[in-house]
Amino acid sequence: MTTEIARLQREFLEYMEIERGASLKTVRNYDHYLARFIEMTGVSSPSGITDEVLRSFRLELNRSPGVFVKGQARATMKKNTQNYYLIALRRFLKYLMKRGITSLSPDRIELAKVGGRHLDLISKDELSRLLQAPSDMLAKEADEAVAVKYLRDLAILELFFSTGLRLAELCSLNRDLDLSKDEFSIRGKGEKVRVVFLSDAAKEAIRVYLAKRKDMDEPMFVQVSRNTSGTDRRLTPRSIERIVREYATRAGISRKVTPHVLRHSFATDLLENGADIRSVQVMLGHANIQTTQIYTHVTDRQLKEIHKKFHSKR
């Protein structure tokens, strides 16, 4: 027998997908977090969600085991993971309030405090070596079929740094990009559309790569193996992660480099060259300025230089 809370959970997920335009991944995550909440608390109706139930749920989350790491004792669930559950529950309670259904006020949910996010960054010199690495390999390659791979990889790296695209966004691109313009629109998280901008280096890398392609496949970035004819050749996110990692190794970068590190490099490069943080927020597609503020270490450093230059000139 379906309980009232289970029915409302289903209606909420449908509302998020259809009316709010949430991605299927977000809907699945909300489904998981809310199902765990209902299972752990045993509530069967919205009125059963009380301050006491919330407190017990938070204690249970805080004492839950986290991800097991081989060779180490299993730690408890991380604070930011706990917050995913609380965010889903708060969003559900806001939905109930909107429908006039009596339950706990969403304002009663405070997120767990977490430490500041650590940014994995590479230096300007490391970035330069990374972007140069495919060209270095290309210069040594006589096989035209293999050369296309290096041209493709150069276009991927230049595009990441030029646009700040997320990995999934870059994977979704098709080859019909209008290279006569310096910008194009991309549909990102939450189905939100934003404009991103192409540098001359990125446009040229894409143009040369596409000119060398022998196929007419729709995706922008495809596998170049001779054994992939007749299959879906679009590069997967995991394949692109491997490509970035490969060139980081070739460039002599010892730390882990991912597509998201290049997104960080894009943002910090803008800020270091004078862009304001709200403009960077828009270009990254962040819904909330607080997400972009992880980059304030850059502006903080600029403030230090301004202070040193202009303060107390006696």
Residues with catalytic function: 166, 189, 260, 263, 286, 295
Percent helix / strand / coil, the chain, rounded to 5: 60, 5, 35
CA distance 190 to 11: 19
Continuous segment of H or E residues that includes residue 306: helix 296-310
> What is the C-alpha radius of gyration for the chain, rounded to an integer number of angstroms?
24
304 Cβ contact list (under 8 Å, min separation 6): none
DSSP SS3 for 187: strand
Q: In 172-222, which ranges are continuous DSSP H helix?
A: 200-212
What the block records as the tokens of 173 is 């691109």
Q: In 19-143, which ranges are continuous DSSP H helix?
A: 24-41, 51-63, 79-98, 124-139
267 Cβ contact list (under 8 Å, min separation 6): 164, 280, 283, 284, 292, 295
Is the Cβ–Cβ distance between 3 and 96 less than 8 Å? no
CA distance 147 to 209: 9
193 Cβ contact list (under 8 Å, min separation 6): 185, 186, 187
Q: 72: how many CB neighbours lie within 10 A of its CB?
A: 7
Residue reference for tokens 């290049």: 262
Q: In 165-288, which ranges are continuous DSSP H helix?
A: 167-171, 200-212, 237-250, 259-272, 277-284
